[in-house]
Structure 1
Amino acid sequence: MDRGTRIAVLGAGLAGLTVAGLLQRAGFPVAVYEQSPSFSRIGAGIILGANVSKVLRRLDLEDAFAATGIRPDAFLSRAWDTGEQLYKLDFDAEREARFGGPFVNIHRADLHQLLQRPLAPGTIRFGHKLTGIEKRGDALALSFENGASAEADIAIGADGIRSITRELILGVEEPRFIGRSAPRAVFPASRIKGDPIDDCTKWWAPDRHTLAYYMTPDRNEVYVMAALPMARWDGDGSPVKGDRDEFIAAFDSAHPDLRRAAEAAEDVAVWPIYDRPRNDTWHKGRVVLMGDACHAVRPFMAAGGSAAIEDAAILSRCIAEFGDPATAFAHYTMVRIPRVADIQQISIANSWMHGPTETDWFFGYDACTVPLDRAIPEALCPNLQR
């Protein structure tokens, strides 16, 4: 596409910041519109593999990424009650070479800060909550709740599972509560009594699971997240303050190593877990979706963030390589939908690395080099000029 194509990115999460950075590097004028008034260090941890490292390499962020988070020695799966090791994936030099990059645990807010580094000053416009998208000739008119307006040639909806961009092009459809809550806690590692915990462990029980891992290279900050049964959620999808005693009680039958980690929690936040039924309509006209806006997945494979960052790499390449939005978006969806469908299916099954698992297809994936020239069925893009 012409490098004068004006691109609006709606949402400054991991997906939005990554695609903005990659598109600016490709020479496009990009503005990012974020509804929050500012960024702060809230949130939780995130697990990312070599498939993400290879994208961040294109933004000259890979070394900072690996140095800011922790490169764990392994991913462990253990039985909730007995502590039996169910699976272990070592992350030694040989494994990193095989996957093509490091495996890193990091606080989301720390990664968020890193992803802002490549952006030109003034790229992010805070306090801009989208309210409308109107087609005007070959351009788009964007309107915002604060009264501001903007024009763009392409709009990228990267505004999460409750995407306003999605609603504007596909209609209103509420996310699906899956009957699980996710209490989360971030705290100093010094609060854990006894021996240090392992670098990264998923604890499995028949009706629940927990992730516990360090997020910093000196192992001084710990993240614990559980997925617990919950019959209903009456809120709007926002997190609520959790009860520490109730959180700890959920681990009464757990192995002592897991209980020690849970008992160290101070403040607990409880998030409802939502997803969406699969919908392969990811674009309409000059508007395209990415990340949770088009393929929200359950967090049971720890792959949602990875998939969103992969989206950014593929979408930015398609925009740069193909001559018009219809062609670019068609190639983007043809490349991404099959892979995301696999991720969604595994996440629903909650089977990832519970036992012996083939992981090369996931961590070894390189969104920066995968071919983009797959054939496009006429049904997906009837107006495509061949």
Structure 2
Amino acid sequence: MSGLRIAIVGAGIGGLTAGIALHRRGIDVTIYEKARELRELGAGVVIGANGARVYDSLGLLDSIAAIAGKSSTVTMQTWQGQALPGYRPPYPATETYSLHRAEFQNLLVAAMPPGTVRLGHECVAAVEDERGVRIDFADGSTTHADLLIGADGIHSAIQPLVGAKSAPVSEGIMAYRGLIPAERLDGIYDMGLWSLWVGPGQSFLTYPVSDGALLNLVAFVPTDLDVEESWSAPGDVAALAAAYDGWDRQVQDVIAVMDRTFRWGIYDREPMQGWSTDRITLLGDSAHAVTPHLGQGANQSVEDAITLAVLLENSCAADIPAQLRRYEELRVERNRQVREGAREAGQLYRSTGLSPEQQADRIVAIYDRLELRTYDAERVARETLAARA
């Protein structure tokens, strides 16, 4: 073991991935989650090539592939069903892992030693000094660590502790979400497809999860309401159907077999210049939430996780402040670029003034600019360390 003791607050995808990556490098890590149980959230999550590269290095990619939807083709078409000429996905379907969030979360928990993930621990305060961080929980218990990592989502309780303030920002869009059993879709939808329909003011996304047993649906529509950033706020299937009246027949047929839907508020954060003190840092949505239009929310938290793990691998407690500065140097600008790209992609999907050819050209240009297929966060971190050795 390295001698470092690290506490992570939040057992979402980013926190769990960070825990696994740190543990695999011999670091003593414990993950604290305020929920008393990990709920079965009906939501899909996408791991693209940049995230999959990390899980491959952690020895988890085969397990992830086993529970992923089995897509063979990625399509993008107009709201009337016309393919976008010249469109190509950011990475092939074979490098895209579409997952049921709860199944994925359980897989990551199982990859940690028993007792590493502690449920029912809500962080209410943390006090930092030159020796480390004391962390206080709502049940009256405390713990000490050399480093506290806040991976507790868009409504982070840890964010104020680093002196940063970046409130969630709406882009005027909400989403209807749902999971549909594959047997209801016979003759309606090919479960080997990942499909996105783009149209005036809104878009419609479908992809398989749970080894093809379920179809995940995300329908993005305009809103001027404050919608809860939640995967479990109940929605209205009739309202969803009305929003897509006149769209491609397949879109309407998919909605017609739904029996329930949930509303999801779409928010991100304005970029922060930094999100660390000497002994506390942030990871994932707590630092840099992005809109979901590039499928990069989870992948950016995974990039954060492996970056931190590489930087801390051979570090001692005295090295932590300097390594957190390096972490920010590597991640702040990358996250800013991805946030801007995700917002731009969403606007292109919902464009009213571009031809299908123009939409395709500009969307593909975003993919290429952000290197979504080729970016290797672990390599970038290692090269940074080597250059400064």
**Superposition pairs of residues 218-297 of structure 1, within 5 angstroms:** 219-233=212-226, 239-297=232-290
1:171-208 CA deviation, whole Å, 9 max, x = no partner? Answer: 56532222111110112022226342351011101211
Q: Distance in 2 between matches of 1:9 and 1:139?
A: 14
1:199-224 CA deviation, whole Å, 9 max, x = no partner? Answer: 1011101211111111133x221011
Task: Determine if contact 2:90/2:373 at 8 Å carries over to the other structure.
Answer: no
| Shift in CA distance, 238/65, structure 1 to aligned 2, threshold 3 Å | closer
Q: Name the SS of the counterpart of 1:70 in structure 2.
A: coil
Q: CA deviation at 1:234?
A: 6.2
Match of 2:153 among 152, 160, 168: 160
Match of 2:339 among 327, 338, 344: 344
Letter matched to residue 165 of structure 1: I
Q: Name the SS of the counterpart of 1:267 in structure 2.
A: coil
The equivalent of 1:89 in structure 2 is 89
Q: Name the SS of the counterpart of 2:210 in structure 1.
A: coil
Find out whether 1:355 has 2:356 as its counterpart.
no
Q: Distance in 1 between matches of 2:165 and 2:334?
A: 26
Q: Name the SS of the counterpart of 1:225 in structure 2.
A: strand
Q: CA deviation at 1:370?
A: 2.0
Q: CA deviation at 1:236?
A: 7.4
Q: Name the SS of the counterpart of 1:370 in structure 2.
A: helix
Task: Determine if contact 1:73/1:91 at 8 Å carries over to the other structure.
Answer: no
Unmatched tracts of structure 1, length 5 or more: 97-101, 376-384
**Superposition pairs of residues 284-323 of structure 1, within 5 angstroms:** 284-323=277-316
Letter matched to residue 380 of structure 2: V
Match of 1:332 among 323, 327, 330: 327
| Shift in CA distance, 132/120, structure 1 to aligned 2, threshold 3 Å | same
Q: Which moved more, 1:160-169 or 1:317-326?
A: 317-326
Task: Determine if contact 2:91/2:372 at 8 Å carries over to the other structure.
Answer: no
Task: Determine if contact 2:170/2:268 at 8 Å carries over to the other structure.
Answer: yes
Task: Determine if contact 1:212/1:261 at 8 Å carries over to the other structure.
Answer: no
Q: Distance in 1 between matches of 2:37 and 2:227?
A: 28
Q: Name the SS of the counterpart of 2:270 in structure 1.
A: coil
Letter matched to residue 303 of structure 1: Q
Q: Which moved more, 1:300-309 or 1:186-195?
A: 186-195
Q: Distance in 1 between matches of 2:288 and 2:314?
A: 24
| Shift in CA distance, 113/289, structure 1 to aligned 2, threshold 3 Å | same
The equivalent of 2:128 in structure 1 is 135
Q: CA deviation at 1:239?
A: 4.4
Q: Distance in 2 between matches of 1:173 and 1:196?
A: 41
Q: Distance in 1 between matches of 2:15 and 2:270?
A: 22
Q: CA deviation at 1:40?
A: 2.5
4+ residue segments displaced more than 6 Å: none
Task: Determine if contact 2:164/2:274 at 8 Å carries over to the other structure.
Answer: no
Q: CA deviation at 1:238?
A: 7.2
Letter matched to residue 312 of structure 1: A
**Superposition pairs of residues 48-87 of structure 1, within 5 angstroms:** 48-86=47-85, 87=87
Unmatched tracts of structure 2, length 5 or more: 350-358
Task: Determine if contact 1:239/1:272 at 8 Å carries over to the other structure.
Answer: no
Task: Determine if contact 2:164/2:275 at 8 Å carries over to the other structure.
Answer: no
Task: Determine if contact 1:299/1:347 at 8 Å carries over to the other structure.
Answer: yes
Match of 1:207 among 190, 201, 204: 201
In percent, how many aligned pairs have the same letter?
A: 27
Find out whether 1:188 has 2:188 as its counterpart.
no
The equivalent of 2:380 in structure 1 is 370
Q: Name the SS of the counterpart of 2:246 in structure 1.
A: coil
Q: Distance in 2 between matches of 1:164 and 1:4?
A: 27
Letter matched to residue 355 of structure 1: A
| Shift in CA distance, 311/205, structure 1 to aligned 2, threshold 3 Å | same
Find out whether 1:3 has 2:2 as its counterpart.
yes
Q: Distance in 2 between matches of 1:90 and 1:30?
A: 34
User: How many pairs were matched up?
Assistant: 368
Task: Determine if contact 1:331/1:373 at 8 Å carries over to the other structure.
Answer: no
Match of 1:106 among 95, 99, 109: 99
Q: Name the SS of the counterpart of 1:12 in structure 2.
A: coil
Q: CA deviation at 1:337?
A: 2.1
Task: Determine if contact 2:127/2:135 at 8 Å carries over to the other structure.
Answer: yes
The equivalent of 2:18 in structure 1 is 19
The equivalent of 1:378 in structure 2 is none
Kindly report the root-mean-square deviation, in angstroms, between the aligned alpha carbons of the 2 structures.
Answer: 2.4
